[in-house]
Amino acid sequence: MTNFSGSNMVLETITLEGYDALKKVLDGSKTRTAILFTGSKDTSGKSWCPDCVAVIESLSASSFAAQNNVRFVECRVGLRE
């Protein structure tokens, strides 16, 4: 988890594994949240999903969330089986 402080905002970036972990973070939360669902990382350290890899490499979560004053969550949905 990374926290960034700005003039009137606190930005939080979180990486989670699976739906249950996401549900725990969101339950009772009143914080606006952007969620990116991705494939989990394999033994090489990259997501098994080529589309996810392309998006993650081009997406700056910190800058997106800072501009929109939201918490950014990357939720990894598991390995390809």
The one-digit pLDDT tens for each residue of the chain (81 residues) are 445 455 445 467 899 999 999 999 999 888 888 888 988 888 888 888 888 888 877 765 556 656 667 888 889 988 877
Beta strands in the chain (DSSP E): 2-5, 10-17, 33-38, 71-76
Write down the pTM of the prediction: 0.69
Q: In sequence order, what are the beta bridge partners of 35?
A: 73
Which structure tokens are listed for 36? 């990116």
Residue showing tokens 């089986």: 81
Side chain identity, residue 1: M
Residue showing tokens 């950014």: 72
Sequence spans of domains, the chain: 2-76
Q: CATH number of 2-76: 1.10.3720.10, 3.40.640.10, 3.40.30.10, 3.10.129.10?
A: 3.40.30.10
The Cα–Cα gap between 23 and 6 comes to: 27
